[in-house]
């Protein structure tokens, strides 16, 4: 099995008024997130300001200064799981109710068959086992905005490194 690379792209560009409002409200420098497939051209996400559906688009040219990327090495099984999840959710509409209410309430509201960008990517990463739900239990987060997703991924990567370091320390001979 060969290793593949996916990226999670976080939009930090100035953008339009809605980008500014999202960043202000979520207290994050990110207003949107997309999952970039191994071909580095296909980006999957959902935005109410594009077509309001989970969809893949070709984005061969983009301003790298407006995006931050977190990179994952994945295997072919994980890639197939991401694609299956996409195939199953492609065309699902934007979850306005879930996204808005989750910002105001201390628990997450989820409309069946509807998504917003950070939520869809979090589920894609968990369901494909790119991120371990036992380390990052997304069901405990009321908000899965792009900024929260970014920090979840960073925490997941740090937790893994810390665990590996503890394991390595326990195996060393004193």
What is the residue extent of each domain of the chain? Answer: 4-171
The answer to whether residues 9 and 36 touch, using CB atoms and an 8 Å cutoff, is yes
Nearest residue to 148 via CA among 46, 8, 44: 8
Q: Structurally, what CATH architecture does the domain formed by 4-171 represent?
A: Alpha-Beta Complex (3.90)
HSE of 24, CA atoms in CB hemisphere, 13 A: 7
Measured between alpha carbons, how far is 39 from 26 in angstroms, rounded to an integer? 31
pTM for this predicted structure: 0.81
Burial 98-115 (b: 16+ CB within 10 A, else e): bbebbeeeeebebeeebb
Closest listed residue to residue 36, CA positions, set 77, 1, 64, 2: 64
pLDDT of the chain, 174 residues: tens digit per residue = 678 999 999 999 888 888 888 788 878 899 899 999 999 999 999 887 777 789 899 987 789 899 999 999 999 999 999 999 999 999 988 777 666 677 676 666 666 787 888 889 999 999 999 987 777 777 777 678 898 889 888 877 665 545 444 433 443 333
Is residue 21 exposed (0-12), middle (13-18) or buried (19+ Cβ within 10 Å)? exposed
In whole angstroms, what is the distance from residue 113 CA to residue 91 CA?
9
Phi and psi at 50, nearest 5°, equal -105, -90
């Amino acid at each position: 099995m060969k290793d593949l690379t996916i990226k999670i792209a976080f939009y930090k560009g100035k953008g339009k008024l809605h980008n500014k409002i999202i960043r202000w409200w979520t207290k994050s420098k990110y207003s949107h997130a997309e999952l970039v497939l191994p071909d580095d051209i296909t980006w999957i996400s959902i935005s109410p300001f594009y077509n309001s559906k989970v969809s893949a688009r070709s984005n061969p040219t983009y301003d790298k200064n407006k995006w931050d990327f977190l990179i994952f090495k994945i295997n072919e099984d994980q890639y197939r799981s991401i694609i299956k999840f996409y195939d199953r959710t492609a065309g699902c509409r934007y979850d306005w109710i879930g996204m808005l209410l989750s910002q105001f309430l201390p628990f997450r509201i989820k409309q069946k068959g509807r998504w917003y960008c950070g939520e869809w990517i979090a589920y894609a990463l968990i369901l494909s086992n790119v991120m371990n739900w036992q380390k990052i239990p997304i069901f405990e987060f009321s908000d899965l905005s792009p900024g929260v997703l970014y920090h979840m991924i960073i925490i997941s990567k740090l937790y893994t490194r810390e665990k590996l370091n503890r394991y390595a320390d326990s195996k060393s001979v004193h």
